[in-house]
Amino acid sequence: MGKPLVIGLTGGIASGKSSVAEGFSQLGVPVIDTDAIAREVVAPGMPALNAIKARFGNSVLDATGQLNRRALRNLIFEDAQARADLEAITHPAIRDLALNRIAAADAKYVVLVVPLLIEKGWDRLVDRVLVIDAPESTQKARLMQRDGISAEKAQAIINSQADRSSRLTKADDVIHNDAALESLDNEILALHNKYLSLTTT
């Protein structure tokens, strides 16, 4: 089997990316989640963790030698250069591992989940962009409930990402995740059949 069709799945925070990814997974489609890969590449013994330690010092490690994510977040929160340095270490490692998994997938198509697909230029690595879209009011309510945060904090997080219109202009396909779960399942199945048909033409 040749290289699979790569579907880049993205969407704003609390839009339902995980639910949609799980739906594709249940249909037997390989799902490659860059958030999960991001945790793998900074595991103890991995080159990226050694580079992070060299750049930021031992304060970003916990007592067991694992990455202390909170300490690292605090260091880069308001330091653009530190954030850029971290991304220069982690992003190539994440991209390389993701591409390796795509190449190894024995499937007609794969779903690559990248929250900041458009913002970070990952759309250039995929064949089609699938945007999970939800009204901002829905995102906000889900975020407040999920993370137990204030309306102001939720709005600030939403504002820090690309706006809906920017994402939608890049979309080849859109799932509107603002209705019942049954409707979501139907949208996923329809796209599944579409992607399979694209691989046989």
- Binding-site residues from annotation for ATP: 14-19
Q: What's the rounded Cα separation, in Å, for the pair 172 and 129?
A: 5
Q: Which two tokens stand for residue 37?
A: 């890969």
Q: Which two tokens stand for residue 57?
A: 């010092």
Which residues fall in the annotated binding site?
14-19
Q: What's the rounded Cα separation, in Å, for the pair 16 and 139?
A: 9
Which DSSP string corresponds to 147-201?
HT--HHHHHHHHHTSPPHHHHHHH-SEEEE-SS-HHHHHHHHHHHHHHHHHHH--
Where would I find the beta strands (DSSP E) of the chain? 5-11, 31-33, 109-113, 128-133, 173-176
Q: How far is CA 151 from the centre of its chain?
A: 23
Q: What's the rounded Cα separation, in Å, for the pair 155 and 151?
A: 6
